[in-house]
Amino acid sequence: MIRTWKITKDKAEEIKLPDKSSLDAITRQLPDGYYSTFRTYDGCTRVIGLTAHLRRLPEVDASSLRRNLLSLLEPYHLGETRVRVMLTKQGELHVSIEPLKLLAREIYENGVRVKTTSISRNDPRVKSTAFIGASNDERKHIAQLGIFEALLVKNGRILEGMTSNFFYIVDNALYTARNDILLGITRTMVIRAARGRGVGVGYRPLKLDQLSAVKEAFITSSSRGIVPVVQIDDIKVGRGRVGQTTTLLMKAYGEYVLKHAEKI
């Protein structure tokens, strides 16, 4: 069950909303603003890149928010959670928490199918709640098709996922877009983990007419980590199965998280 609180100074007051089916449903019932979503580690005591997540909320007292998070997460300490912090443009701060539901192991072992879409963010650098509402129809559409994620395309180039960042491998080099995207926290951590394993990283979006040359691909997000992609639209990625470099980076990222996750 998802619970939501309104945070005022050092006080957290739980609020009741009609639709508590998902974090996105919660977000759509609140006024437009800014948000960030992350998962916890070590019994709800640590978060990867927490400082960077909280910077997405303009002028929020990070120390006060951390104290509230620790208090709200305490009842969940026997497991892990997925947390969304939201700041409305009027300055109201909300926190929603749900027990973490990990993806099935088969998803990481077998990879997922994704599709391209022309949906775009008004301001890619801002984590705006308005995009959640604007992309809702596309989210429902891909769910009906059994597609895991939609990739945002601009001028014939794949930039990022609707809820993730996108990486691909061509000629044994790892690439990701750098401009016109949301600079995801996990994206940064994956780049660091890749370099730590001697994998070079280049910055350029993938042209649609280069899809057949891609050997491996994956998407990244805070709650899901690295998710291998084995098909984009009707084109198989490489041999249509999880590649060696992706497998290496999944392990490297897991080790990086255990070492670098911040205490709340």
Average pLDDT score over residue span 2-8 = 96
Q: Which domains does the chain have, with CATH numbers?
A: 3-99 (3.30.470.10), 105-260 (3.20.10.10)
The pLDDT of residue 125 is 85
In this structure, are residues 76 and 96 in contact, taking their beta carbons and an 8 Å threshold?
no
Average pLDDT score over residue span 228-255 = 96
Task: Answer whether residue 23 shows pLDDT above 90.
Answer: yes
Average pLDDT score over residue span 135-163 = 95
Average pLDDT score over residue span 242-262 = 95
The pLDDT of residue 61 is 94
Angle at which helices 185-196 and 244-260 cross, to 10°: 110
Q: Residue 14 CA to chain centroid, in angstroms?
A: 25
The pLDDT of residue 172 is 86
Of the candidates 145, 159, 147, the residue with the CA atom closest to the CA atom of residue 107 = 147
The pLDDT of residue 228 is 98
Q: What's the burial of 79, exposed, middle or buried (CB within 10 Å: 0-12/13-18/19+)?
A: exposed
As a whole-number percent, the residues of the chain with pLDDT over 70 amount to 100
Coil, helix or strand at residue 261 = coil
pLDDT band at 10 (very low <50, low <70, confident <90, very high): confident
Over the stretch 65-94, which tens digit does the pLDDT of each residue have? 999 999 999 999 999 999 999 999 999 999
In this structure, are residues 249 and 194 in contact, taking their beta carbons and an 8 Å threshold?
yes
Over the stretch 92-130, which tens digit does the pLDDT of each residue have? 999 999 999 999 999 999 999 999 999 988 888 889 999
Over the stretch 30-50, which tens digit does the pLDDT of each residue have? 999 999 999 999 999 999 999
Average pLDDT score over residue span 157-178 = 96
Sign of the alpha-carbon torsion through 216, 222, 225, 228: negative
Half-sphere exposure of 43 (CA within 13 A, CB side): 4
In this structure, are residues 161 and 150 in contact, taking their beta carbons and an 8 Å threshold?
yes
Q: Which one-letter amino acid corresponds to residue 29?
A: Q
Q: pTM for this structure?
A: 0.94
